[in-house]
A and B are shown apart, each in its own frame.
Chain A
Amino acid sequence: MVSVGCGKGATADADLPLGSRDNTAEVEEYYRTKVSLPVEVREALERGEISQAEIDERTVAGEFPKFFRFATPADLPADLEWEDGMDLPELGSPEATKGGTLFMAITDFPRTLRVVGPDANGSFRAYLQDETLYTYAVRHPNVTEIGPNGHRYMPAIANEWAVDREAKTVYVRINPAARWSDGRSVTTADTLFTYYMFQSPHIRAPWYNNAYHRQFTEVAVYDEHTFSVTVPEGKPDMNKRVLETRPFPRHFFLDFGDDYPERYQWEFLPTTGAYVIKEEDIKKGRSITYTRDEDWWARDLKFWRHRFNPDRIHFTVIRDKAKAFESFKKGELDTVRMREPDYWFDKLADDDPLVADGYIHKHQFYDDKPRPTYGLWINTAQSPLDSKLVRQGLQFATNWDLVIERYFRGSYVRMRTSADGYGQFTHPDLQPRPYSVAKALAKFTEAGFTERGDDGILVNDAGQRLSVTLTSGRESLKDILTILREQALPAGLEYRIEILDATASFKKAQEKKHDIVFTAFAVGPEMYPRYWETYHSVNAYDQAFLADGSVNRDRKLKPQTNNLHSLANAELDAMIERYRASEEVEEMLDLAFRIEELLHEEAVFSPGYVMPYLQAGSWRWIGWPEGFSNKIAHYYESEWMQWVDEEKREETLRAKRSGQTFPKHAKVYDQHRIR
């Protein structure tokens, strides 16, 4: 879905109106002067080995190549093999009809409508950006084999692209028909600006700054619709690096500057997607409604035409899951996720009258994709978790097996590593530490926690209790935590449970103030796992190590990054750097396995569980394609292939009142199940 925008609306901060500034000169100066630092120079700078002044000097001397290049169509290599993905199968169902209103629930009103910067990485961002503000091309969610140029892509904003692995460059042609929701064409000016924006400290998002500085070495523009991007490593999936970036509307960011987080806090971007948000449809704290853009530029294109069917999509904020579920059962919401077994087996069992009489349909869809990392993210910056022995003991004291068997009723499986579901990139035989009180106690004893206090919790010589806070942002995970807590007590470990608001918990972890956070990163369907973001020391501390390689005693934690472990291990850093630089699948596999083994040894992540399917309920008036969803879909609604039949809604509600029933529909879609 997409948010599109009203821009200068009543929602804007009156003190910071858009249109009061013009940063064109500043931006063009950046295009002219920005240089591309070689990886080793950039890293030396990050480590503080060379100063910014020295870099500036060498830049003036012309030592480094320019980052932005302005070329002409004649400069395009002649022998490029352009591809457009049009041979791939279509998504959605031709039976889908446009119209109606889809009612859904969100648990938390977004803290901002920006898609980047402080607080932007909340749960609603997927709706604001990931599914709607389109990338140049989109990986096909069902055809997932690895081809000579990596994964297969369907055209989105781009209509063709070419990969030159020798030159580590991807060439892209923007579809001349592509439009922002305010009617302006998408052009290479937007592409250029996106690199400026994401390299800028103004966005207050070090992760993006790092990525946009490190992952690209040159952007070249040939004409209004053609550009190329060069990447430093010719990775097997280098096409993804470029095709899965998304342009941002240059004309909307003339005011972009140091006050970006405040100025754009409640501004909607013009987007390239199928839906717009009207001013009157933002009810802060209560609901947001999307309206389908009748004139959406892509509405009749292959891959897009049978999707984004409802005229309106209404998101109500319902903070309590149980309440949202009751709302669904009353017909106030059209679809609902049913992840938890108690919902699937008890609260809406197959013999429930609503299901048995065919009013509500149940869907269980097996998918095959990288798994969200549900587990305990241990912060090594907090005592006593800075001790590896304590962390290892803690893993032995954490009874995931019981949670899976007794709480999830054996329907989930244990996660093995921090990167499950990546096919051959997942470590073939590494096993997580099983629950064992004896082994946990042995580790704790070795770590100096030898005596039990009167309450049975271990204490060390300094009088420190073996007690840590376990934070989670999801009320629904509370029961799991209480089970883990009870099971850890025999091993003399106390988990203090802290349930926060989803955004508050996220903020706490991003500021690295947690002991342990029980959370998961919703990983994308990538070819191989990422390690740099979550495990490299540059994302843990400002300067983790001194020049001589010893630990920097004065290092400061780096907030707003995904290294929630605050892990800084020089050996690991070296492997991660090689892994990032490697262009060979074989070498990457070897490194990935060794990284996982080292992480297992460091015991910073206690792997939890994997849910091998999506489960959902929907009222009878919601239509679905034959296969229900896609192999690598994030959620069942990811590709927005469902449609609303308002006549059927009437018919069903009438029938329910009169007692008329329909055939029961509780179906398992296991075409993608791994056996």
Chain B
Amino acid sequence: MAGRSQLNPLTARKLRRFREIRRGYYSFLLLVGLVGVSLVGELLVNNKAILVRYEGEWSFPTYTRVRLGEEFGLIGEARQVPVDYRALAERFEDEDGGNFVVLPFIPYNAYENDPYEDVFKPAPPSAASRHFLGTDSTGRDILARLLFGFRTAILFAVAFMALTYLIGITLGCLMGFFGGLFDLFLQRLIEIWSNIPFLYMVIIVFSVIPTSFDVRTRIGILLTIMVLFSWTSMTYYMRTATYREKERDYTAAAMVLGASTPRIIFGHIIPNVVSTIVTFVPITVSNAIIAVTALDFLGWGLPPPTPSMGELLKQGTANLTTAPWIVSSAFVTLVLILTLVNFVGEAVREAFDPKKFTVYQLELKP
């Protein structure tokens, strides 16, 4: 029934319908745009230059190894330490010798402390200092921390969604397709498994893993734990949907023609039940963002000083009266992202609504 190489006409109609729902579609574009921007965030928000021209040589330090001062003719102590591109830019400008540095739009990274009134304390938003959303309690740029925090959260959420769906859909389908004892046994297993509190597991696991693991490994572990405890709910939908589809004539026809079990499941059944699942995607994504933010807020997420929205919210609540821009930046960003994701979700649900496009009736009465 489902064409493999070309889009199912029903799917094509659904996608067209999705594009017609303006609010959802533009939210989707905006979200994709934001993710795109965050993926190249190092080019926009960084204390490393985008481009350096020194003595006729061009270099692009953003993604390359750390360069020491001696490579740009610095002397003294600056010679043997990683180069400070902001200082280098000023120096080249003063020298006026044809060398120059192109700095990112926001010339700070998410970690460096920039003093305000000579002390490390929150600085209010200011275009002059290029801290457009101000700085946090130790003088770090909030926009930088939000951007990279957002990137971590959204990539995390997408990976989380993909993995839970992979496991949930596969197992749910198998349960529905094979039924019987296999279904019965796996269902009981899932019931037991889903009763293990996931937050405690996170806390327990994080208290035993050593900090010598780098941040990426820790994110991987967090992701694994969350996926392990979240895939179960998806199996229920898939199981019932598969039960239904299995009884339909096209499945019987495929069986009679001698199609293999994987081919029936993945080639015929899944494409027909996936519309139910697609509507859950945005909800799963926004839940994952909320979960990872909450864990950071509670201090059980990523180790400091990794930028994260949860950590900023926590700082914000600690400096509610003295530096309201911290909490407002983090809060508005979080609300904005979750709203966009939910708009997309709304549109997807409407576009994929089976009541609008179903061909169910036709098949029942041939």
Interfacial residues, chain A to chain B (CB-CB below 8 A): 320-322, 326, 342, 346-347, 406-407, 409, 436-438, 441, 452-456, 467, 469, 471, 475, 478-479, 481-483, 485-486, 489-491, 496-499, 504
Contact = CB atoms under 8 A, between A and B. Distances in A.
Interface in B94-127: 111-113, 115, 118-121
Given A406-B115, A499-B304, A469 B121 contact: no
Given A407-B119, A409-B119, A498 B303 contact: yes
Contacts of B137: 342, 479
B111 to A, nearest CB: 6
Most buried by A among B64, B112, B120, B207: B120
12 contacts: A346-B322, A406-B118, A409-B119, A454-B66, A467-B212, A479-B138, A481-B304, A482-B138, A482-B305, A485-B305, A490-B81, A498-B211
Contacts of B120: 406-407, 479, 483
Contact of A483 (B81, B113, B319): B113
A595 B211 CA distance: 33
Contacts of A342: 121, 137, 319, 322
B115 A469 contact: no
Most buried by A among B64, B82, B304, B321: B304
A316 to B, nearest CB: 18
A346 B207 contact: no
Nearest to B66: A456
A500 to B, nearest CB: 8
B318 interface: yes
B305 A438 contact: no
Interface in B119-145: 119-121, 137-138
A479 B318 CA distance: 13
Nearest to B323: A346
B65 interface: yes
Given A436-B77, A496-B303, A498-B303, 7 more contacts: A322-B317, A322-B318, A342-B319, A406-B119, A456-B82, A482-B305, A496-B211
A502 to B, nearest CB: 12
A438 B317 contact: no
Interface in B293-312: 299, 303-305
B207 A504 contact: yes
Given A347-B322, A407-B120, A454-B65, A482 B80 contact: no
Contacts of A346: 121, 322
A579 B285 CA distance: 65
B68 interface: yes
Nearest to A498: B211
A437 B81 contact: yes
Nearest to B118: A406
A404 to B, nearest CB: 11
Nearest to B117: A409
- Shortest beta-carbon contacts, A-B, top 6: A456-B66, A322-B318, A454-B65, A490-B81, A498-B211, A482-B305
Interface residues of B, number: 32
Contacts of B318: 320-322
B299 A475 contact: yes
A437 B304 CA distance: 23
Nearest to B109: A486
Most buried by B among A347, A455, A479: A479
Contacts of A409: 119
A483 B303 CA distance: 15
Contacts, number: 83
A455 B66 CA distance: 6
B208 to A, nearest CB: 11
Contact of B111 (A407, A471, A486, A499): A486
Contacts of B212: 467, 469, 496
A490 B82 CA distance: 6
Contacts of A436: 77
Nearest to B116: A406
B118 A438 contact: no
A406 B304 contact: no
A482 B82 contact: no
Most buried by A among B210, B305, B317: B305
A438 B322 contact: no
Interface in B175-230: 207, 210-212
Contacts of A479: 120, 137-138
A441 B81 CA distance: 9
Nearest to B318: A322
Contact of A499 (B112, B119, B138, B299): B299
Given A346-B322, A347-B322, A452-B66, A438 B304 contact: no
A452 B68 contact: yes
Contacts of B68: 452
B304 A497 contact: yes
Interface string B40-58: 0000000000000000000
Contacts of A456: 65-66, 82
B323 to A, nearest CB: 8
B112 A438 contact: no
A365 B252 CA distance: 87
Given A342-B137, A479-B138, A438 B80 contact: yes
Contacts of A454: 64-66
A91 B119 CA distance: 40
A487 to B, nearest CB: 9
A176 B169 CA distance: 79
A489 B82 CA distance: 8
A498 B213 CA distance: 11
Interface in B63-82: 64-66, 68, 77, 80-82
A321 B36 CA distance: 38
Most buried by A among B80, B207, B303, B317: B80
Contacts of A441: 80-81
Contacts of B304: 478, 481-482, 497, 499
A213 B320 CA distance: 53
A485 B81 CA distance: 15
B77 A438 contact: yes
A455 B214 CA distance: 13
Given A347-B321, A406-B115, A406-B119, A483 B138 contact: yes
B106 to A, nearest CB: 17
Nearest to A491: B81
Contacts of B111: 482, 485-486
B288 to A, nearest CB: 24
A390 B211 CA distance: 20
Contacts of A469: 210-212
A319 to B, nearest CB: 9
Contacts of B321: 347
Interface in B265-316: 299, 303-305
A503 B315 CA distance: 23
